[in-house]
């Protein structure tokens, strides 16, 4: 049975971590992904918080797999800003391969941020956000089905 973003909001932090650990990195994505922050996982507020963040702050990411970078889509207008390098490396969570979204050399605003993502289903990635080496939140990236 395929996992959906709605399923992620119902999971506890331990379940999200187990899902991430059990998943393979998958291919480095290409194109535009709708993003959803997973804050307060397993609570009734998680979905509402994600919707508010999506309206006012962060909408998703636009990947250029060939060039190895992405831009975040931010603010209500969907401005494409805050660039990250994209590459595969070992996860800080479990030491297994993941896709790293590295802002350390590309952004003054987010230079201490590192995201890690793994594919959890067709067109669906689960991510972890780190500030320096401290874990902050989880997020999902959903790519539209290919025609």
- Lookup: tokens for 44: 């009734």
- Which of 119 and 6 is assigned the larger pLDDT? 119
- With bands split at pLDDT 50, 70 and 90, how would you rate the model's confidence at 109? confident
pLDDT in tens, 99-108: 999 999 999 8
Give the residues across from 138 on adjacent strands.
Answer: 38, 128
- Contact, 127 vs 140, CB < 8 A? yes
pLDDT in tens, 29-88: 999 999 998 887 776 666 676 666 665 578 899 999 999 999 999 876 777 889 999 999
CATH number belonging to domain 5-142: 2.40.160
The three-state DSSP-derived secondary structure of 78-111 is CEEEEEEEEEEEECCCCCCEEEEEECCCCCCCCC
Kindly report the number of other CB atoms within 10 A of residue 2's CB atom. 9
- Contact, 64 vs 72, CB < 8 A? no
Give the percent of the chain with pLDDT over 70.
88
pLDDT of residue 8: 93
pTM for this one?
A: 0.91
């Amino acid at each position: 049975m395929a996992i959906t973003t709605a399923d992620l909001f119902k999971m506890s932090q331990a379940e999200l971590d187990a899902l991430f650990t059990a998943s393979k990195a998958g291919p480095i994505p290409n194109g535009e992904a709708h993003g959803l922050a997973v804050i307060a996982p397993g609570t009734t507020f998680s979905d509402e918080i994600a919707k508010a963040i999506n309206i006012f702050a962060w909408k998703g990411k636009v990947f250029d797999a060939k060039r190895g970078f992405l831009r975040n889509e931010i603010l209500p207008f969907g401005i494409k800003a805050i660039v990250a390098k994209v590459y595969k490396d070992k996860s800080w969570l479990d030491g297994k391969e993941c896709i790293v979204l590295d802002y350390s050399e590309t952004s003054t605003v987010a230079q201490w941020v590192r995201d890690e993502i793994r594919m959890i289903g067709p067109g669906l990635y689960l991510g972890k956000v780190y500030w320096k080496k401290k874990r902050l939140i989880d997020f999902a990236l959903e790519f539209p089905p290919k025609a």
